[in-house]
Structure 1
Amino acid sequence: MSPVSPHSGFVDRQHVGRRFARVAASYGEGDFFAREVDRRMQERLDFVKVEPKRILDLGCSRGGSFPGLSARYPDAELIGLDVAPAMLSAGRIPRAGWQRWLGIGRTVEPLRLAADAANLPLKSRSTAIVWSNLLLHWLDDPIPALAETHRVLEVGGLLMFSTLGPDTLKELRAAFADGYAHTQRFADMHDLGDMLVGCGFADPVMDMEVITLTYDDVDAMFAELRAAGSSCAMKARRHGMTGRKSWENGKVAYEAMRKDGRLPATFEVIYGHAWKVEPKKTPDGRAIVRFDLPRKG
């Protein structure tokens, strides 16, 4: 039985799509954090032995992970999937620029699909790697997306992802503690590991690091979050304008956290990977026993 997610029913999915659609045209100027996490994820592939024929980038936005994946796996078909069609369109480049952008040798532009991560338009066991950079915390519930990922992976296939953990933007939550949500709800690393096992993955490996960004002031921080499409999309967020008094109180509380002349913003980055293996049980719970027949001759 799959674990029950504590996140179900809390995220405003339409708001997520609207926010990322709104910043799609200029996202290349605001996605430096996503690109840095992507770079660190790609370094982890140095320790993975796999020769994929197809890679699915789940939550690809404008396709920022494509160049690195293409350079590492030049013979693999790349598919990018995102919920915001505007992101997919903004990432397209002229045909003459494909090879220069994706790396010498590639002649086919990655296929881009607008779809829900919980309902992938791909056949079962059709993909060797599912790559997902900073997507899961935007989902109302990670479990359906993880289950779909498991379905489309071939046996021996790899899921590699990053997401944000509970300490992310802890300063912001503490400063604006007014009863409204000001950040996403972030799953704990160990809960994500349990979700992976519950969805059928084997031997999940999880690790975490803390990245602290600093700002001149609160306004600069919010401007950067908005440029990256990273405003709060929880249903419990404040839907109207923040009152002047609440805003000023929050800024004063955040100012008290200033260190060395700068305001900190913590990001807990969780990295995970897991493999799809042959199932040990049928969907109705019966054990599968495999017999290797002796070779003739």
Structure 2
Amino acid sequence: MSETKTLDPSQAVRLQTYLNATSESPEPVSPIDKRRARRSFERAAQTYDSVAVLQREIADRMLERLDYVRLRPERILDIGTGTGYAIDWLTRRYPKARVVALDFAHGMLGQARRRGSWMRRPLCVCADAEQLPLADASVDLIVSNATFQWCNDLERTFRDCLRILRPGGLFMFTTFGPDTLRELRAAWSQVDAHSHVSPFLDMHDIGDTLARVRFADTVMDAERLTLTYDRVQDLMRDLKVLGAHNATSQRPRALTGRARIRALEAAYEAHRSDGRLPASYEVVYGHAWAPVQTETAEGVAIPVSALGGRKGGS
């Protein structure tokens, strides 16, 4: 049995259970237009935190899992840091670690650089998650919250994460699965044939990708969270304020006219429940380890630094 948790944009308001939930077939993946996505997040930097209720909630749930991990990192990388919400938690949890905040939107990094104590500000790096400008084996812990859905080549991205992790390092992340915004996708499908919602990968495909790049001890799980709204326009406004615009290359290029918005609103009404319109999110959680042993042409190599065992500590 799984749980569907419903959150109001201001606070959690109700909890439901569901059985035998089925997913719609995901639409064909449309590559993300990175330039458009970057511009959207640049514009959203000042307003992002005002509506990022869901993003903070899933960040908290991800970070709480570190309480069950024995790790004493010296350097932590936060990929897609956004306004740096995770940084305060990380600097409290690991006060001796150096936190590196990475995001492709410079405006977001301007917000993130204020996080942490005045003596332990994060080192901010403006770069794409698909092209990490860090040295091999230079990081002990990578965290990433709600970022990898903006990557076009997830295998390349994960391979780069493995490259920069030290042997025995931990990779922990969240992203969104194909049931995300399924009501919005279904409503738009009744209006036109364009791509209006970004594509999301299945949890099992993400886990398979981690295995292909040779991460070890991979664990994947998912849950459903639902935001509720009075009107479709409130949902659309939140997505705009977040910077989470449709950034697929197959998006419609013309402005959305009033007639199409009215058609969208009418189609979305079929999903109204208890007087509210739901916006579903399938939240995918993953964590995996950089293997201590590495394969070579001659067999298996064990780094000298690993002979003492995996790092302990709280």
Distance 1:126 1:112, change over 3 A: same
Query: Which residue of structure 2 aligns with residue 110 of structure 1?
Result: 122
Structure 1 residue aligned with 2:264, among 250, 253, 256? Answer: 250
Structure 1 residue aligned with 2:299, among 285, 288, 292? Answer: 288
Structure 2 residue aligned with 1:128, among 132, 135, 140? Answer: 140
The structure that is strand-richer by fraction is 2
Answering whether residue 83 of structure 2 is matched by residue 65 of structure 1, we say: no
Q: How many Å separate the matches in 1 of 2:90 and 2:152?
A: 28
Answering whether residue 250 of structure 2 is matched by residue 233 of structure 1, we say: no
Structure 2 residue aligned with 1:10, among 20, 26, 31? Answer: 31
* 8 Å CA contact 1:7, 1:141 repeated in 2: no
Structure 1 residue aligned with 2:187, among 175, 192, 207? Answer: 175
Distance 1:247 1:290, change over 3 A: closer
Structure 1 residue 116: Cα displacement = 1.6
Distance 1:173 1:153, change over 3 A: same
Answering whether residue 108 of structure 2 is matched by residue 87 of structure 1, we say: yes
* 8 Å CA contact 1:61, 1:88 repeated in 2: yes
Letter in 2 for 1:288: G
SS at match of 2:245: coil
Query: Which residue of structure 2 aligns with residue 219 of structure 1?
Result: 233
Answering whether residue 167 of structure 2 is matched by residue 155 of structure 1, we say: yes
Structure 1-normalised TM-score? 0.88
Answering whether residue 178 of structure 2 is matched by residue 166 of structure 1, we say: yes
Distance 1:291 1:186, change over 3 A: closer
SS at match of 1:134: coil
Q: Deviations over 1:255-274 (max 9, x none)?
A: 12110000000000000000
Structure 1 residue 40: Cα displacement = 0.6
* 8 Å CA contact 1:8, 1:140 repeated in 2: no
Letter in 1 for 2:82: S
SS at match of 1:176: helix
Letter in 2 for 1:138: W
**Structure 1 gaps, min length 5:** 1-5, 94-100, 293-297
Number of aligned residue pairs: 276
Structure 1 residue 248: Cα displacement = 1.7
**Structure 2 gaps, min length 5:** 1-26, 304-314
SS at match of 1:246: helix
Distance 1:229 1:196, change over 3 A: same
- Answer with 157-166 or 180-189: which moved more: 180-189
Answering whether residue 201 of structure 2 is matched by residue 187 of structure 1, we say: yes
SS at match of 1:242: coil
* 8 Å CA contact 2:30, 2:248 repeated in 1: no
RMSD value, Cα = 2.0
Matched-pair identity in %? 41
Structure 2-normalised TM-score? 0.83
Answering whether residue 53 of structure 2 is matched by residue 32 of structure 1, we say: yes
Q: How many Å separate the matches in 1 of 2:41 and 2:233?
A: 20
Q: How many Å separate the matches in 2 of 1:92 and 1:128?
A: 21
Distance 1:49 1:175, change over 3 A: same
* 8 Å CA contact 2:81, 2:112 repeated in 1: no
Query: Which residue of structure 2 aligns with residue 97 of structure 1?
Result: none
Distance 1:287 1:20, change over 3 A: same
Structure 1 residue 198: Cα displacement = 1.0
Q: How many Å separate the matches in 1 of 2:131 and 2:185?
A: 32
Q: How many Å separate the matches in 2 of 1:244 and 1:102?
A: 45
SS at match of 1:66: helix
Structure 1 residue 287: Cα displacement = 5.3
Q: How many Å separate the matches in 2 of 1:28 and 1:14?
A: 22
Q: Deviations over 1:192-226 (max 9, x none)?
A: 00110111201210000000110000011111111
Q: How many Å separate the matches in 2 of 1:116 and 1:8?
A: 20
Structure 1 residue 231: Cα displacement = 1.4
* 8 Å CA contact 1:132, 1:161 repeated in 2: yes
Query: Which residue of structure 2 aligns with residue 200 of structure 1?
Result: 214
